Amino acid sequence: MTPKAARIRSRRWRAAPLALLVGALAASTAAGAAARGFWRRLPEHSVRAVTPAQLQAAIDRANASMSADAREALALRRASLALLHALTGRAEPARLQAEVNAAAVGVRESRLIRLQQGAVRLWLAERAGEPVENWWPALQPYLAGMQQADCAHHQAALVEHWTAVYRHAGLGPGTAAGLAEEVVGQAHGPFVQYLAGRLQLLIGHLERTGDAVAAATCRAVLHHLLKQWVLEPGPAGLRLLAADLLAAAIDAADPAHTTDTARAVADDLRAWRSAYQCVARRRPAASLDPRRRLCLAPDAHDRLLARTGLVTWLASAALAAALVALLLSPAWLRCGVTGWRRLTAGVLLAAALVIAGGLVWTCLWPEAVQADLRRDFSAPLYWPRHPFVAAAVTLVLMLPGALLQPRAGDGQSSRRAGAGKMACGVWLLLALAVWSAAGLAESARRSYERQTAAAYEDVVTALGGPETDRLLARLWRWEP
């Protein structure tokens, strides 16, 4: 090799450390942007990021296209809430009837509003001290012709509307659906519990006094309402409550008026509730959910947790390597790359072991990752576990490789320079690994959001499984 060629080659090798540093910085920038974007889109962080102004804009946008069923659901919910406030002493009784009548203006199809008005009339009569024998004349106008009436509550449409609100605010579909169920709540629960309990008392009185026709009317209306609410899509809690009340109503009926089919329906409803509750008790809370609700997509959730833990592991490891490389940069940037084969092998081995360690940690100790992700990383006294383990593992793995680096060409020891080059190489590879892991984690997040949203469309079937259709088949065919 000529002296000129040797000088050119020497300049190239001496420029290599600078190129390595620039490459590591560029890779870290891309990886940091990908990891930060993924982290901000996680359910808990995305919910925190929504401002009141954004939420109000999303509400206005969704209200502009609100469906007719959702509008009707709002009116029916308003009526049930008025009764709830009266039952709990938070509303003036004198204004209760007017409040429910005002809500009835927004109801176009569902006949449920008549039963709500009847429940209000009954509560006012009961509060005034009227005896049970006076209840039927007060209720008869509201129950007449209601044996087969459509008493839909349209809660599913209201949940869908609020899901659209949160989607417009930038949340994922699963997170939006969970928050929507929480906002809609169980406003109809107290109403149906009150009505069912009072109708049972009235039925008993009517049967004792020999008014079998009136008793049959009350029983048919109650059974029909509860059957429809068990089968109508909506919040799981409301469907399970209706199932419990219907089974109790069938059991309480006079055996002479109860068919074998009705008793079998009651048994099916109890078995369905038990199966659902058994699965729900075994299902853990979603660690990444902002409200820690029941996990409806456990496989997708575990996959997302593992990939989130891997991203934080690799990011912490890359940061540790970057700090070492930058601290030692004055020593290694002045040196050329000597023994590059040994350096490359050491870098590859150390980076591979760090990545393998992250995979092993997230697979064998998922509880530690979950505990870290459940905490608030901004808390001043909180120190997460696995990121520090990742940094320590990285530093330990880089040390042997740095010690094995050859001496510099000037004959002086260059341990610091070797450690710096080793750290920069590991930093570059781990930054690329963070970028890839963030992409995989984002894919897992989207899958988790989609599967959770699909489960919220029918929570009962999502938890109850195929037993739901089998145990409710007889109820579909039963005519109260």
31 and 95 part of one domain:
no
Does one domain contain both 337 and 244? no
Report d(CA 383, CA 316) in Å as an integer: 13
Give the integer Cα–Cα distance in Å for 316 and 358.
11
Q: Please indicate, yes or no, whether the overall pTM of this predicted structure exceeds 0.75.
A: yes
Q: Which of 253, 286, 311 is the last residue of a domain?
A: 253
Does position 54 have pLDDT exceeding 90, yes or no?
yes
Asked if residue 283 is part of any domain, the answer here is: no
pLDDT tens readout for residues 147-179: 999 999 999 999 999 999 999 999 999 999 999
Which of 220, 253, 286 is the C-terminal boundary of a domain?
253
Query: Is there a domain that residue 456 lies in?
Result: yes
pLDDT band at 401 (very low <50, low <70, confident <90, very high): low
Last residue of a domain, one of 195, 225, 253: 253
Residues 37 and 57 in one domain: no
Determine, yes or no, domain membership for 376: yes
Over 70: is that where the pLDDT of 456 sits?
A: yes
- Which one, of 69, 305, 303, 51, lies nearest residue 171 by Cα? 51
Which of 11-15, 137-141, 282-286, 368-372 is most confident? Answer: 137-141
SS (HEC) of 231-244 = HCCCCHHHHHHHHH
CA 343-322-331 angle, 5° bins = 60
Q: Is 285 helix (H, G, I), strand (E, B) or coil?
A: strand
Specify if 161 maps to a domain: yes
pLDDT value of position 98: 87
Model pLDDT for residues 190-217, shown as the tens digit of each residue: 999 999 999 999 999 999 998 989 999 9
Give the pLDDT band (50/70/90) at residue 30: very high
Residues 100 and 194 in one domain: yes
Mean pLDDT of 343-363: 85
Alpha-carbon distance values, 240 to 220, 223, 234 (Å): 20, 15, 10
Q: For residue 381, what are its two tokens?
A: 């006294």
Domain of 368, in residue numbers: 18-42+295-463
Same domain assignment for residues 71 and 209 = yes
Q: Is residue 267 part of a domain?
A: no
pLDDT value of position 93? 78
Q: What pLDDT score was predicted for residue 410?
A: 44
Asked if residue 56 and residue 37 are part of one domain, the reply reads no
Does residue 418 sit within a domain?
yes
Mean pLDDT of 444-449: 94
Domain count, the chain: 2
Q: Answer whether residue 58 is part of any domain.
A: yes
Residues 194 and 62 in one domain: yes
Would you state the pLDDT for residue 94?
78
Q: Are residues 38 and 85 in the same domain?
A: no
Q: What is the mean pLDDT of the chain?
A: 85
Question: Is the confidence at residue 3, as pLDDT, over 80?
Answer: no
In this prediction, residue 332 has a pLDDT band, given cuts at 50, 70 and 90, of low
User: Residue 407: is its pLDDT beyond 60?
Assistant: no
Do 306 and 171 have their domain in common?
no
Q: Tell whether 301 and 216 lie within a shared domain.
A: no
| 10 pLDDT tier (thresholds 50, 70, 90) | very low
Average pLDDT over residues 311-316: 90
Q: Tell me, yes or no, whether 345 and 453 share the same domain.
A: yes
Q: Of 308-317, 336-345, 398-407, 410-419, give the range with the top mean pLDDT.
A: 308-317
Same domain, 166 and 248: yes
Provide mean pLDDT across the span 460-464: 80
Asked if residue 39 lies in contact with residue 45, where contact means CB atoms within 8 angstroms, the answer is yes
234-266 tens-digit pLDDT:
888 899 999 999 999 998 887 776 788 889 999
183 pLDDT above the threshold of 50: yes
Question: Is residue 384 included in any domain, yes or no?
Answer: yes
The predicted structure's pLDDT at residue 8:
40
